[in-house]
């Protein structure tokens, strides 16, 4: 079995813990992190907004290097929490699309709900929603934290499927 575990800031520990508990010990694991390029772009090329200015690049390492270093550190933390062998895959780009692409050839994707900690459609943020909708493999969807009791599911006779 080939499994991809999506490591994202704020939710990665739950994914690692459920992977350890629920996936077979001989599963071939890949820990995946995707750095969003739009944020780097806003941070580095903001000077394009300033007509007529060409400030020197800010001192210190380029943001791309900082992003890569932090992604590697996060993946290594995840691996040590997992406590078993795994491949580390660090990517950049549009997060949700990169995750779906990384799933090609995998049997299962472990992904955390990244929205509200309450049952209901808002428990998935836009990125996790996209990934769940488009993943070409099985999806293990985990809670990152203890969910509060959500509202009862809508009545199938009267309510709309997504009341809020």
Partner 1 sequence: MHDGGGARRSEAAMNEAVSLVALAAILIAAVARARWAPDWVVAVLGAIVVLAVGAISFSGARSALRELGPTVGFLAALLVLADGCRRAGMFDALGAWMAHGARQRPRRLLAMVFIAAAATTAVLSLDATIVLLTPIVFATAARLPANPRPHVYACSHLANSASLLLPVSNLTNLLAFHASGLSFARFGGLMTLPWLVAIAIEWLIFTRSFSSDLRRSATGRAQTPAVELPVFALCVLAATLGGFVLSSAIGIAPVWVAAAGALVLQVRARPPVKELILATEPTLLVFVLGLGIVVAAAGQHGLSSAVTSVLPSGQELPALLGIAAVSAVAANLVNNLPATLIILPVVAASGPGAVLAMLVGVNVGPNLTYVGSLATLLWRRIVHAHEEETDIGEFTRLGVRTVPLILVASTVGLWLALQVV
Q: Map residues 24-53 to x or -, x wherever contact with partner 1 holds by CB under 8 A.
A: ------------xxxxxxxxxxxxxxxxxx
User: Considering only residues 5, 15, 16, 67, which one is a binding residue for partner 1 as defined by CB under 8 A?
Assistant: 67
Residue 61, token pair as written in the block: 């390492």
Q: Smallest distance from the beta carbon of 32 to partner 1, in angstroms?
A: 15
Query: What one-character DSSP code corresponds to residue 61?
Result: S
Q: Does 153 bind partner 1 (CB under 8 A)?
A: no
* C-beta separation of 108 from 78 below 8 A: no
72 CB-near residues (< 8 Å, 6+ apart) = 88, 90
Nearer to partner 1, 2 or 92 (CB): 92
Site for partner 1 in 86-125 (CB under 8 A): 92-94, 114-117, 125
Give me the DSSP letters along 69-109. Answer: HHHHHHHHHHHHHHTS--EEEEEEE-HHHHHHHHTTT-SEE
In the complex, which residues of this chain contact partner 1 (CB under 8 A)?
8-11, 13, 36-56, 58-60, 63, 66-67, 70, 73-74, 77, 92-94, 114-117, 125, 144-145
């Amino acid at each position: 079995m080939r499994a991809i575990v999506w490591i994202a800031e704020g939710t990665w520990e739950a994914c690692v813990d459920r992977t350890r508990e629920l996936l077979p010990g001989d599963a071939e694991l890949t820990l995946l992190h995707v750095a969003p390029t739009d944020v780097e772009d806003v941070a580095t090329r903001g000077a394009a907004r300033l007509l007529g200015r060409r400030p020197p690049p800010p001192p210190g390492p380029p943001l791309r290097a900082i992003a890569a270093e932090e992604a590697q550190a996060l993946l290594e933390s995840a691996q040590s929490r997992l406590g078993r062998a795994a491949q580390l895959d660090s990517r950049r780009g549009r997060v949700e699309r990169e995750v779906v692409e990384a799933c090609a050839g995998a049997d299962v994707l472990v992904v955390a709900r990244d929205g509200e900690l309450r049952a209901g459609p808002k428990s998935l943020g836009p990125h996790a929603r996209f990934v769940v909708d488009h993943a070409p493999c099985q999806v293990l969807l985990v809670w990152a934290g203890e969910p509060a009791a959500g509202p009862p599911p809508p009545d199938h006779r009267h309510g709309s499927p997504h009341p809020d």
